[in-house]
Amino acid sequence: MTNETLTKPTKREYLRETEIKYKEYISPSLARLLKFSGYGTVEMKAEGCYVEDPGGEKYLDCAGGYGVFSLGHRHPRVIAAVKDQLDKIALSAKVFYNRLMADLAEQLAIITPGNLKYTFFCNSGAEAVEGAIKLARLKTGRTKIVAADNAFHGKTLGALSATGRDLLKKPFSPLLPEVIHVPFGDIEALETAVDEHTAAVIMEPVQGEGGIMVAPGGYLQAVRQICDKHNALFIADEVQTGFGRTGKMFAVEHWNVVPDILCLAKALGGGVMPIGAFVGTPEVWEAFKENPIIHTTTFGGNELACRAGLETIKVLQEENLVENSNKMGELLKSGLEEIKNKFPNIVAEVRGMGLMIGVELAQEKFGGSVIMEMAKRRVIGVYTLNKPKVIRFEPPLIITEEEVKMCLDAFLEAAEATAHRLG
What pairs with residue 180 in β-bridges? 146
User: Interface with ligand PLP includes 154 (CB under 6 A)?
Assistant: yes
Candidate segments 236-244, 247-255, 362-370, 389-397, binder of ligand PLP by CB under 6 A: 236-244
Determine contact, residues 101/305, Cβ cutoff 8 Å. no
Task: Give min distance, CB of 132 to ligand PLP, in A.
Answer: 10
Give φ, ψ of 422 to 5 degrees: -120, -20
Residue nearest to ligand PLP (CB): 125
Beta strands 144-148 and 198-203 are parallel
User: Interface with ligand PLP includes 149 (CB under 6 A)?
Assistant: no
Quickly count helices (H) and strands (E) in the chain: 15, 17
Please state, in angstroms and rounded to a whole number, the distance separating the CA atoms of residues 160 and 169.
7
User: Interface with ligand PLP includes 265 (CB under 6 A)?
Assistant: yes
By beta-carbon proximity to ligand PLP, the closer residue of 54 and 244 is 244
By C-alpha distance, which of 300, 276, 296 is closest to 288? 296
Strands (E), 298-422: 347-353, 356-361, 379-380, 382-384, 387-393
Residues 239-258 contacting ligand PLP, CB under 6 A: 239-240
Distance of CA 313 to the CA centre of its chain: 17
Determine contact, residues 257/228, Cβ cutoff 8 Å. no
Task: Give min distance, CB of 327 to ligand PLP, in A.
Answer: 24
Candidate segments 23-31, 38-46, 203-211, 332-340, binder of ligand PLP by CB under 6 A: 203-211
Candidate segments 147-155, 216-224, 249-257, 326-334, binder of ligand PLP by CB under 6 A: 147-155
Task: Give min distance, CB of 276 to ligand PLP, in A.
Answer: 6
User: Interface with ligand PLP includes 204 (CB under 6 A)?
Assistant: yes
**Between the CA of residue 368 and those of 382, 384, 422, what are the distances in Å?**
9, 12, 11
User: Interface with ligand PLP includes 126 (CB under 6 A)?
Assistant: yes
Would you give the end-to-end CA distance of the chain in angstroms? 44
Task: Give min distance, CB of 8 to ligand PLP, in A.
Answer: 35
Candidate segments 100-108, 136-144, 233-241, 355-363, binder of ligand PLP by CB under 6 A: 233-241
Task: Give min distance, CB of 221 to ligand PLP, in A.
Answer: 20
- The one-letter amino acid code at 238 reads E
Determine contact, residues 397/244, Cβ cutoff 8 Å. yes
By beta-carbon proximity to ligand PLP, the closer residue of 237 and 303 is 237
Within 10 Å of residue 58's Cβ, how many Cβ atoms? 15
Task: Give min distance, CB of 92 to ligand PLP, in A.
Answer: 20
- Interface with ligand PLP: number of residues (CB under 6 A): 15
Residues that bind ligand PLP (CB under 6 A): 66, 124-126, 129, 152-154, 204, 208-209, 237, 239-240, 265
